[in-house]
Homo-oligomer: A and B are copies of this chain.
Amino acid sequence: MKLSEGVEWGLHCASVLAGLPPGATLPTRSLAELHGLSETYLSKHLQALTNARIIESVPGPRGGYRLMRSPEEITLLEIVEAIDGREPLFRCTEIRQRGPLARGPQAYRRPCGIHVAMARAEQAWREALHSQTLADIVAHYVQDVDLQQRQRQEQWVAGRMRRASWQP
């Protein structure tokens, strides 16, 4: 089992968008080029983030993507679920209800113990993701990466971003 590679892409792209001035956008092309990714495939994942109301798209020339909310209000869980889906990691198929000893459905009203145990672990994972926001990622980035490299990226992005014609 593994998470979709698109989760990594989405997280990095969202972090970059978090660094833009308010209202400004960055097109898929630039996001893909910055990270050395396939532009068309990244587009697919950005669509998922758009459908999840995490980023929003501005169509047409001078268009692109931007965050729909402030980085403090976007949790990592949202991004992971938007791209990788909201289905649980562990899916109980109720095999206890199969086989020669199976009873009727009314005998299985209480949840399967294995299902409960796996759901408990999954809940811990989701809570850990929910407790971290894009702002934390950005803060870590600012603290961890040297100033020169940050400025290089800032300039590179500034040269390709599109300023909002109308402020939201």
Residues of A within 8 A of B (CB): 1-5, 7-9, 11-12, 15, 33-37, 76, 84-85, 87-93, 95-96, 98-103, 107, 110, 113-114, 116-118, 120-129, 132, 136-137, 140-141, 144, 149, 152-153, 156
Contacts and interface: CB of A to CB of B under 8 A. Distances in A.
A121 B114 contact: no
Q: Which secondary structure dominates where chain A touches chain B? A: helix
B153 A101 contact: yes
Contact of A125 (B2, B121, B152): B121
Nearest to A97: B36
A141 B117 CA distance: 12
Most central of A33, A87, A107, A118 by chain B CB within 10 Å: A118
